[in-house]
Amino acid sequence: MELEELLEKHEGRKNKVYKCTAGKRTIGVGHNIDAKGLPEDIQKWLDMHGWITEDMIDDLLQSDIEDALNDAWKLYPALESFSESRRNALIDFLFNVGLSTASTFKRMNNAINNGNWDKAAQYISESKYWRQLGGDPKGTDDGKLERPEEIAQMLREG
C-alpha cells in the first residue's frame, strides 16, 4: 500500500476543520492545525470559504509526510535499509504521534534499530498508543485491523 493511501485510511480526508481524538483542530489528512498551523494562503482560503480544496489537502499531506520522514531519520538512522512496508509503518506512526512522543518508545525504537522486528511489534502492542487507538487486548481479536495493529503487523512482516 502506498504511504498516502495508508495515511488517508488511518486519518481520513476532510476539507473542513474537525477535532481529532486528542481534541486538536485538524484538517485534510490529519493535519494538526493547533501544532503546525497552516500556510498563509491556505489559512486565508479557509477563513474566506470555511473549507479547503483537494489540492490544498494534498499539499498539506506532502508537507506533513516530509516532516514525518525527517523525524523518522532522526530515530532510525538505517531507515533507508528497511523494507518499504516497514518505512511506511514508521512514517505513519510518526505522522500520528510526532517526534517527541515517538522518542519515548525507547524499547520499541531500540528493537527497530537492532533489526528485532518481532520485539518492536510486541512493544508497540504493550503501549498506551495501542490501547488509545483501538488495538485489541492481548488474546482477543474483534476482526478489525485498527491502526496500531496494522502498524505492528507491518513491522513484524516487513
The class (CATH top level) of 3-157 is mainly alpha
76-135 per-position pLDDT tens digit: 999 999 999 999 999 999 999 999 999 999 999 999 999 999 999 999 999 988 888 887
List of residues 6+ apart from 65 with CB closer than 8 A: 3, 4, 7, 91, 95
Contact at 8 Å (CB) between 138 and 69? no
Rounded (5°) CA angle 72-24-34: 75
Q: Whose CA is closest to 105, among 86, 121, 118?
A: 121
Helical residues (DSSP H) of 50-127, grouped into ranges:
54-75, 84-102, 106-113, 117-125
pTM (whole model) above 0.75 = yes
- Domain layout of the chain by residue ranges: 3-157
| Average pLDDT, rounded, for the chain | 94
